[in-house]
Amino acid sequence: MTSASHTPAPIGRFQHITNTLMAICLGVMAVSVFVNVVLRYGFGSGVAASEELSRLLFVWMVFIGATAAYPAGEHMAFTSLVGLLKNKPMPMKLMTGVIRIAVILGCALVGWGAWQQVVVGLDSKSVVLGYPTALLPLPALLCTAAIAVMALIELIQQTPLDLGHGAEVE
């Protein structure tokens, strides 16, 4: 039995940038928490900003990852349901449009809520670091805007759904 070597697809610029940003967030979080733990348990002191910084970076990392996951086709996909239409071009095309519209509407709802939180956060500061608390909901706003734009482009270009998730259990 021979196994074919599988070479991964080249990483695009967007994917590379998002991966780098997530790695930076994770690295700063890890160093911050590690230093805080060493100082707290080794020397009886700590860095008060460590927890706040880690929380902020974690939120940003999650939404950067969510944005990067969309064009890579790594978000939740109900391929077992939509896959039933893969041999029926017209219903599949219609369902693809419905799905893309639902994604855009979902992004609009989350984005609207995030925008409201950004506006509220402009007038308040975090307790320890003093950054505007608008920085916490801002990545949700940016993420939903980016995903909505990507879904709109796919809708306009009539990009077929990626059903490559069919092997996964859903």
More confident residue, 97 or 44: 97
pLDDT for 156 equals 95
pLDDT tens per residue, range 109-137: 999 999 999 999 999 999 889 999 999 99
How many CB atoms are closer than 10 A to CB 125? 12
The residues, any chain, with a CB within 8 Å of residue 69's CB and separated by 6 or more, are 75
pLDDT for 44 equals 82
Nearest Cα residue to 133 out of 114, 105, 152: 114
What's the whole-model pTM score? 0.82
Query: In the predicted model, is pLDDT for residue 104 greater than 90?
Result: yes
Kindly report which listed range (20-24, 58-62, 93-97) carries the lowest average pLDDT score.
93-97
**Nearest-10 crossing angle of helices 89-121, 138-157:** 160
pLDDT band of 84, cuts 50, 70, 90: confident
pLDDT band of 9, cuts 50, 70, 90: low
